[in-house]
Chain A
Amino acid sequence: MAETSSTLGSPTRRLVLQVIGLGSAGFAIGCVPEGATPADDAAGNGVSTLALGPFVKISTDDKVTVLLKHIEFGQGVSTGLPTIVAEELDARWDQMKFEHAPAEVPTYGNLAFGGAVQGTGGSTAIANSWEQLRRAGAAARYMLVQAAAERWGVDAAEITVADGVVSAGEDSATFGELAEGAVAIAPPDAASLTLKDPSTFKLIGQEKSATGVSARADTAAKINGSAKYAMDYHPPGTLVALIARSPKFGGKVASFNAEASRAIPGVMLVRQVPSGVAVIARDFWAAKKGRDAILPQIQWNNDNAEMRSSDAIFEDYRETFDVAGHEARLEGDGATAIGGPGRIISADFEFPYRSCADGAAELRRRVHARRILQDHLRFADADRRPAGRRAGSGPPSRPGHDRYPSCRRILRQEGDAQCRSRG
């Protein structure tokens, strides 16, 4: 084993208990030195990155970064949302970048969910961001134009912006060259900005133009192993926790004997949590062996557990077909139509009840010793409050980052403890 106990840092017992008290699926607890949060990619290379509002950052190296308030988990928001900004900003597509926004409401709230929740779901990402990001792009453009007007001593009305270049007469400058001036401009009232006429769109609604490139902004990193997912965030000293859960849905721990699990080298703590028994270890394999060892040593209380077999559950479902249903909407006369002439096509589709079937992609959460949540959930804000409550303090921060959710949904199926998605 590569890790020795001396490299593990010293997670306090209290911290560990607070964290596992969240009752999550698999997660890890990292203990990293102060200041070891993921660095802004601009740090240390002489490039500064300046925020023009909460959604747009422009770097002196002429990159435009869009902060995604929605998670990218394959549906394409890392392409779609920056496209909206780039359009109103008149940026070039090849200068666009993205990163995931920090957990922060109402700034990054989903307007389709009322704005008070930062969440991704229900095919809302583009719809609720559409106007907001168009205005964010237009506001950043305004600030760049004002900065250019000041620099060149010309009227803003004489300035044009196209393909990432701001110009007036003989003068021209890139966004990167104007970034430092633009950040000093007072942001406009976004509602007062005039947005583009859609007939003039150059990026939105256009097919990719070149072959040999991907239309997706996340392809390059996802085909060479460099894309970082929440589960890939594994600083030295990270501990891994796995939870042994009841084999029956709704079962609770009655009692357990942790001896065998504790005897596994690398297992550091075995502890009951609301969803089962958590085994915390110095690495995944030790945690997995510890969990395998504890499973036969747990007595379950099945008083409130689902005790029917899958066959029995399906039988119950089939019987409900014979029961008159609740009428949600009535149009025409279905019964007569089905009884009338014509062809009836009938098929049964039966899907077993399985964990992980809801499309939620994230499962790893990481908590620094400093209590910074490094999760990547569809509801970015959701774990901060319970984490804070358990710790007896305010919610920890969940900073912005460049990671994707770990798609553990691809395989874990029944009987597996790790993939009870909360998404």
Chain B
Amino acid sequence: MNLTINGEAVEVNVAPGDDRPLLWVLREDLALTGTKFGCGVSACGACTVLVDGQPTRSCVTPAATLEGRSVTTIEGLDTPQGKAVQQAWTELDVVQCGWCQSGQILAATALLTQNASPTEDDVNTSMSANICRCATYDRIRNAVVRASQLVGTE
């Protein structure tokens, strides 16, 4: 079947009804390893990608259910919001080990796309299920707010 990944139609070897999650199609078949595996049970957010702009946990989303949908991974993030998030992450030195950060960045991008000027509370509410074992939360919060300013000035 075909999937649309980062704007391109990609032929993947997935049969209808197959339960293999998108995460492993991305990582193992397509070598898009920017999407990370943390828990495999939708509990951490490390595997977050965007499906039609919505943050989606690829570890529990069978690839076979995504025909005709548009998947964005960290490698293909190029919206103004996404770029602003990456810039804010750079300015504020958010990353530590980095393992959770692809998921954080995509979740933050989705938030900013829906809410152009989120408050710190908005960030807490919409991103608290993206876990960071290095505990970069404080910087994430500040960086999302910073990113909203960057989008506003562009």
- Where the two chains meet, the residues of A that have a C-beta atom closer than 8 Å to any C-beta of B are 1-3, 73-76, 211-216, 218-229, 231-232, 234, 238, 283-285, 288, 361, 404-412
Q: Which residues in B have some Cβ–Cβ distance to A below 8 Å?
A: 12-14, 18-21, 24-25, 27-29, 31-40, 43-44, 46, 73-75, 77, 86-87, 89-91, 93-102, 105, 131-134
CB pair A212–B33 under 8 Å, yes or no, is no
**A232-B27 in contact (CB<8A):** yes
Residues of chain A lying within 8 A (CB to CB) of residue B25: 2
Can you pick out 15 interface pairs between chain A and chain B where the beta carbons lie within 8 Å of each other?
A1-B13, A2-B12, A74-B97, A213-B91, A223-B89, A225-B73, A225-B75, A226-B34, A283-B24, A285-B20, A285-B21, A285-B24, A407-B134, A410-B100, A411-B43
Question: How far does the Cβ of B16 sit from chain A's closest Cβ, in whole Å?
Answer: 14
**Given A219-B90, A225-B75, A283-B28, A404 contacting B98 (CB threshold 8 A):** yes
Which A residues touch B29, using CB under 8 A?
Answer: 2-3
Q: Determine if A410 and B99 form an interchain contact, defined as CB atoms under 8 angstroms apart.
A: yes
Residues of B within 8 A of A219 (CB): 89-90, 93-95
Contact across chains for A2 and B27 when beta carbons are under 8 A apart: no
Closest 9 CB pairs of A and B: A225-B34, A74-B96, A407-B99, A74-B97, A222-B98, A232-B33, A225-B74, A410-B133, A411-B44
Nearest Cβ distance between residue B1 and chain A, in whole angstroms? 12
Q: Are B95 and A410 in contact (CB under 8 A)?
A: no
Give, as a whole number of angstroms, the nearest-CB distance from B144 to chain A: 14
Beyond A2-B25, A410-B132, A411-B38: 14 further Cβ-contacts under 8 Å? A1-B13, A2-B12, A74-B97, A211-B91, A215-B93, A222-B95, A223-B89, A225-B33, A232-B33, A283-B24, A283-B28, A284-B24, A285-B24, A406-B36
For the complex formed, measure the closest distance between the CB of B140 and the CB atoms of chain A, giving whole angstroms: 12
The minimal Cβ–Cβ distance linking A262 to chain B, given in whole angstroms, is 19
In this complex, the member of B34, B35, B98 whose beta carbon has the largest number of chain A beta carbons within 10 angstroms is B98
Question: Min CB distance, B79 to chain A, in Å?
Answer: 14
B136 nearest CB across to chain A (Å): 9
Is A218 in contact with B95, judged by CB distance below 8 angstroms?
Answer: yes
Most B CB contacts (10 A, CB to CB) among A225, A238, A284 go to A225
How far is the CB of A374 from the nearest CB of chain B, in Å? 14
Which residue on chain B has the smallest CB distance to residue A1? B13
Q: How far is the CB of A234 from chain B (nearest CB, A)?
A: 6
Q: A-B contact count, CB below 8 Å? A: 127
Main secondary structure of the interface of A (DSSP, over half): loop
Residues of B contacting A214 in the complex (Cβ-Cβ under 8 angstroms):
90-91, 93
**Residue pair B97, A73 in contact (C-beta under 8 Å):** yes
Docked complex Cα distance between A72 and B111 (Å) = 30
Whether B97 contacts A225 by the Cβ 8 Å rule is no
Report A-chain residues with C-beta under 8 Å of the C-beta of B105.
223
Contact A234:B98 (CB < 8 A) given known A211-B91, A214-B91, A411-B43 = no
Residues of A within 8 A of B100 (CB): 407, 410
Specify which chain B residues have a CB less than 8 angstroms from the CB of A1 in the assembled complex: 13-14, 18, 20
Q: Are B98 and A74 closer than 8 Å at their CB atoms?
A: yes
**Minimum distance in angstroms from A226 CB to a CB of chain B:** 7
Among B19, B20, B21, B86, the most chain A Cβ lie within 10 Å of the Cβ of B20
B residues less than 8 Å from A73 (CB atoms): 97
Residues of A within 8 A of B43 (CB): 411
Which residues on the A side are within 8 Å of B132 (C-beta)? 410
Question: Nearest B residue to A210 by beta-carbon distance?
Answer: B91
- Say whether B97 contacts A407, CB under 8 Å: yes
Please tell me which one of the listed residues B14, B33, B134 contacts residue A234 in the complex, with CB atoms under 8 A apart: B33
Chain A hits for B90, CB < 8 A? 212-214, 219-220, 223
Q: How far is the CA of A286 from the CA of B36 in the complex (A)?
A: 18
| Contact residues in B for A218 (Cβ distance below 8 Å) | 95, 98
How far, in angstroms, from A3 to B28 measured CA to CA in the complex?
Answer: 9
User: In the assembled complex, how far is the CB of residue B72 from the closest CB belonging to chain A, in whole angstroms?
Assistant: 11
**In the bound complex, how far is the Cα of B27 from the Cα of A231, in angstroms?**
10
Interface centre among A213, A223, A283 (most CB of B within 10 A): A223
Are B34 and A405 within 8 A (Cβ)? no
Complexed CA–CA distance, A228 and B75 (Å):
13
Instruction: Give B37's nearest chain A residue, CB to CB.
Output: A231
Tell me, rounded to whole Å, the shortest Cβ–Cβ distance linking A302 to chain B: 26
Task: For residue B45, give the distance in angstroms from its CB to the closest CB of chain A.
Answer: 9
> Which residues of B lie under 8 Å from residue A406 when comparing CB positions?
36, 99
Q: Is there contact, CB below 8 Å, between B13 and A411? A: no
Residue contact B31 to A234, C-beta cutoff 8 Å: yes
From B18, B77, B89, B133, give the contact of A409 (CB < 8 A): B133
B residues near A361, Cβ cutoff 8 Å:
97, 99
Contacting pair B75 A410 (CB below 8 A): no
For B34, list chain A residues within 8 Å (CB).
224-227
In contact, A223 and B95 (Cβ under 8 angstroms): yes
Picked from B13, B44, B89, B91, the residue with its CB within 8 Å of the CB of A410 is: B44
Among residues of A, the one whose C-beta sits closest to the C-beta of B89 is A223
Q: Which residues of A contact B19 (CB under 8 A)?
A: 285
